[in-house]
Amino acid sequence: MSTHHWLRRSAAVVGVVAITATGLAACSSGGGGGTETTGGTETTAGGTETTAGGETVNLEFWDMAWGPQDTYPAAMQALVDQFNTENPTIHVNYTNKSWDNWYQTFAQAVGGGTAPDVSTGGGFQPFGLQADADAILPLNPLIEKWQSDGTADDFTEGMLDYYKDGNGDYLAVPWATDIRVWYYRQDLLDQAGVKVPTTYDELKNACDAVRGLGGDIYGIADGGTPHWTFMQGIANGAGMFDADGNAALTSPKELDALKYIASMGQGGSGCINPTATTIDQQAAIQMFNDGKAAFVMDSPSISAQLSEETLKVAKILPPLANADGDKFGLYFVNGIMGYKATKNPEQVMTFIEWWSAHGLDVFKAGSSGVSPRTSIAEDPSFKDIPYYLDAAKQWGAPVGKPLYELAPNGFAALNTIDGDTTMLDLERALFSGQDVEAAATSANAKIQSFIDENK
């Protein structure tokens, strides 16, 4: 189960005009490839190519399928071509990678000596590959350069430190944030006679009131991801990890958050759709779109999946206050990273710096999410996308927090947790009316085992 990316496999275009481009993704032989001769040029094991014009460094770039396959890879190939034109001493070969067995693909490439020089990847991939194989190139020189020249100030609060590990190494540069946002339908709240919630207690009351309308109308539509379980603990001032980076699903505040979710499930008031344990996120959004649910959690890019009629009545729910009056949310991050096997670390950082600065083109090509760079996120072209800018502004940092909010830094076990079903199974247990403390205790033990395995 992918925990943090509807962004990861999303085919929804963010609503700006896509880049038009042609071209095929180049085949990759990996950053440590052997000598080959093609077209009169010689590529050496050091990753350089000797031509009539001199020596050119070759880099292999593996990019994940962040957008529609009929447009995204070609658009990204065009972007890489632009880099190659602007940087004649560096030639980047582009390969678009599927999400099928994505982590195994990278782990096997690292183990077999065919890792790329640079790649995008899963949100916690840098932590995982660094712990598993010491494979990730620290980007400290690039971050220090940005801190010196002011570029670091263009990143939203705390974002550059997202991929900073316990050794103080920056393992990747964020290029997208995937923010969790609550939306509501004003028409259903009006029918139920309730005001727009401002606290989590009021959200539950509104959920129950809308369910009181009867029939197949529910307060909250949910399905297919554990994102609400992730978010509610943070919203309650806790989270699934403690200050030492250990599992904390059974801490008092975290348990309260889990019991809160369960109180609206089939063991509670039943105002969450009973199909939440079986449907996927797209189906949950369709319930909201069809007027069968008053609330749904999704990304700032939800408008691409809503009808014109829904867009007239659907609004962003402002961040809700917990019992202490605090307002917290959740975001995930995707990064671009280099690999230690590369023969050309300086050129890798040159490409990463360029790619980061051209993030707008990645979003134009159909990638969902929000840029972590203010100059890109506030580009006028995003103003035409309903909710997009306001949702990111209201629910992003500093209201939004990373999944490991209370832990000292990101860590390798997050990558395992990201691909495991433990948290999804916990959310299903909450929805279906199982004993909350028992379910939390079981999940906590499993999460802790992942953490212990990576210590």
Does one domain contain both 380 and 275?
no
Q: Is 399 part of a structural domain of the chain?
A: no
Percent of the chain at pLDDT > 70 equals 88
What is the mean predicted confidence (pLDDT) over 122-140? 95
Structure tokens at 251: 């801490």
Does one domain contain both 133 and 17?
yes
244 C-beta neighbours (distance < 10 Å), count: 10
DSSP bridge partners of 241: 247
Q: Distance between CA atoms of 113 and 318, rounded to whole angstroms? A: 49
Does one domain contain both 294 and 371?
no
What is the mean predicted confidence (pLDDT) over 271-276? 96
Q: Is 430 part of a structural domain of the chain?
A: yes
* pLDDT tens digits along 21-30: 222 222 222 3
Q: Is 105 part of a structural domain of the chain?
A: yes
Q: Is 353 part of a structural domain of the chain?
A: yes
Does one domain contain both 28 and 153?
yes
Total structural domains within the chain: 2
Asked whether residue 224 carries a pLDDT value surpassing 90, the answer given is no
Does one domain contain both 245 and 262?
yes
Q: Are 265 and 436 contacting, i.e. CB atoms less than 8 angstroms apart?
A: no
Does one domain contain both 384 and 436?
no
- Per-residue pLDDT, 47: 60
Q: Which domain, by its residues, includes 372?
A: 6-177+336-390
Asked whether residue 42 carries a pLDDT value surpassing 60, the answer given is no
> Please, which pLDDT band fits residue 48 given cuts at 50, 70 and 90?
low
Asked whether residue 235 carries a pLDDT value surpassing 70, the answer given is yes
Q: Is 360 part of a structural domain of the chain?
A: yes
Q: Is 133 part of a structural domain of the chain?
A: yes
What is the mean predicted confidence (pLDDT) over 341-345? 98
Does one domain contain both 213 and 114?
no
Nearest CA among 337, 392, 332 for reference residue 143: 337
Does one domain contain both 222 and 80?
no
Q: Distance between CA atoms of 63 and 13, rounded to whole angstroms? A: 17
Percent of the chain at pLDDT > 90 equals 79
Does one domain contain both 158 and 69?
yes
Counting Cβ atoms within 10 Å, is residue 58 exposed (0-12), middle (13-18) or buried (19+)? Answer: buried
448 C-beta neighbours (distance < 10 Å), count: 16
Q: Distance between CA atoms of 249 and 312, rounded to whole angstroms? A: 39
Kindly calculate the radius of gyration of the chain based on its CA atoms and give it in whole angstroms: 23
Q: How do beta strands 54-64 and 48-51 pair?
A: antiparallel
Q: 3-state class of 450 per DSSP?
A: helix
Q: Which stretches of 211-342 are assigned E, i.e. beta strand?
A: 218-221, 293-298, 314-316, 329-339
Choose the final residue of a domain: 372, 390, 408.
390
DSSP secondary structure letter of residue 245: S
Counting Cβ atoms within 10 Å, is residue 263 exposed (0-12), middle (13-18) or buried (19+)? Answer: middle
Q: Is 366 part of a structural domain of the chain?
A: yes
Structure tokens at 258: 């889990």
Q: Distance between CA atoms of 442 and 446, rounded to whole angstroms? A: 7
> Mean pLDDT over all residues of the chain?
88
Q: Is 231 part of a structural domain of the chain?
A: yes
CATH number, domain at 203?
3.40.190.10
- Per-residue pLDDT, 49: 55
Can you give the pTM of this predicted structure? Answer: 0.84
Does one domain contain both 143 and 53?
yes
Nearest CA among 417, 352, 349 for reference residue 174: 352
Does one domain contain both 67 and 170?
yes
Does one domain contain both 101 and 215?
no
